[in-house]
Structure 1
Amino acid sequence: MAGNFWHSSHYQQWILEKQDLIHQRQADLEILTEDEYPKLMIFFSNLIQQLGETLKLRQQVIATATVFMKRFYARNSLKCIDPLLLAPTSVFLASKVEEFGVISNSRLISTCQTVIKNKFGYAYSQEFPFRMNHVLECEFYLLESMDCCLIVYQPYRPLVQYMQDLGAESEVLQLGWKIVNDSLRTDACLLFAPYEIALACMHMACVVYQKDCKQWFAELNCDLDRIMEITKYILNLYELWKSYDERKEIASILQKIPKPSTQPPQPGSR
């Protein structure tokens, strides 16, 4: 593992440019609208969250799984691998990378079946269709697409450090932590460094609780414009949630995704 973020593959290979991200999604945006694509990513991020909570994984593992999924679709079209397969595969891989321990094959598949049936029945009328051999094959393609860059730095640790330095109350930290979780439903984790995301979420939490942090931020040596840009991503997410009824809309969006062939094509093929 890299000794620090600046020497890691996360910083050197996986802080992407917004224009590159948009370009990579062009094939998918010919099928989905610009409003539907983020709704789809939110849905599968929620699925990963629910799988992780049911499997009693730490939030760090869930966050890493979400980033893995987003990294794959930052390089590949939705038609390469069904997101319904990639989501549990990302959880399976993240549990090993974050040294949580390997999830048993039977437990992973049974959890997927239970979660899809009980929590996401409004989106899927049939049971979870994949088995462990599909997950293991998908894991290979996921590893290859990420060029085996498995180290993911998360905003949680810097968030806690910054809050302690500011002397913030526990409820401000708790809200900041929740906002970090919400940021995983945006593209922020692909475009910005974890410490920048932590600062944006910290600032939003301080504003909500009217915690004075002006002097603290004034002394920072960072690009505040980037912090505000992250804030916009998160606020846009909250604005979307006000009018978005996932239970009513997601089934029709899922039906528009082109179905991959049984054998996944080489990652990167369009």
Structure 2
Amino acid sequence: MFHLCCGSKQLLDPDKVDVVHRLDKEKCLTLEEFRLIKIHMSIHIWRLALHVKVRQRVIATAITYFRRVYTSFFDATLIGAGTSSSDEKYRFEIKDILEMEMKVLEALDYYLVVFHPYRPLLQLLQDANITDLTQVAWGLVNDTYKMDLILIHPPHMIALACIYIACVLKDKDLTSWFEELRADMNIVKNIAMEILEFFEYCRPDPKNNILLPEDRINAALNKVAAKP
């Protein structure tokens, strides 16, 4: 039987995560635009990292760093830069990247440890004897990085929520297994609902790419990049 463990000490209060920064408010950025920026930048990091063939967990760590930084610390240069690799105004030299790296490290308070749901996911799938759901559940875990779940919930709870959704999608009944785990199913179901609500908000295309309204993204990024 898989033993559930405690989450990271870096977990944040949900009420402090989904909040527009004071400087953003001064630029009239709405909560919806704030959320769109986080989704957009998470997808952008993912695509950029895949382009240079970075491992999946490294990508997930980078996105987590971004979300931690944008939640606890504001600097328009951290958000406005790099949204379009083909645009001349977003081209940087190594010294610029190194300078930005120090800003990110400072914003993270030099705490770089990230616990991901991937390992507990594989352990839980094996424990439940449903390794045939690995691909579906793994894909769901990947999608959770387009949300703030990694900042709020312990990794094993996110993994359980993804397994719960995968079981529903594949019509598998694991009620007794979940009961044996003694996990808080209210939390698991709430996380699952948040994941499903995300897909309602950002419907993927036939190739499973998340489609965001480009005009609204550009409008939000322009607000962030604008000088006070």
Instruction: Give TM-score, length-normalised by structure 1.
Output: 0.73
d(CA) in 1 for partners of 2:129 and 2:60? 26
2:128 partner letter: L
User: Per-residue displacement from partner, 1:146-191 (whole Å, max 9, x unpaired)?
Assistant: 1111111100111111111111143x21111111111101110110
Q: Is 2:126 the counterpart of 1:157?
A: no
d(CA) in 2 for partners of 1:240 and 1:29? 23
Q: Is 2:27 the counterpart of 1:19?
A: no
Q: Is 2:64 the counterpart of 1:67?
A: yes
Q: Is 2:138 the counterpart of 1:177?
A: yes
d(CA) in 1 for partners of 2:102 and 2:226? 19
For structure 2, the 5+ residue unaligned runs are 205-210
Correspondence for 2:107? 145
For structure 1, the 5+ residue unaligned runs are 88-111, 118-124, 262-270
d(CA) in 2 for partners of 1:227 and 1:26? 32
- Higher RCO (CA < 8 A, seq sep 6+): 2
Q: Is 2:212 the counterpart of 1:256?
A: no
d(CA) in 2 for partners of 1:204 and 1:29? 36
Shift of 1:127: 5.1
Residues 144, 195 of structure 2: 8 Å contact kept: yes
Q: How does 1:92-241 map to 2 (within 5 A)?
A: 116-117=85-86, 126=88, 128-170=90-132, 172-241=133-202
Q: Is 2:4 the counterpart of 1:35?
A: no
Shift of 1:134: 1.5
1:20 partner letter: K
d(CA) in 1 for partners of 2:66 and 2:227? 16
Instruction: Give TM-score, length-normalised by structure 2.
Output: 0.85
Question: Structure 1 residues 50 and 23, CA, compared in 2 at 3 Å: closer, same or farther?
Answer: closer
Greater mean deviation of Cα atoms: 45-54 or 242-251: 242-251
How many residue pairs were aligned? 217
Give structure 1 regions of 4+ aligned residues with deviation exceeding 6 angstroms.
Answer: none
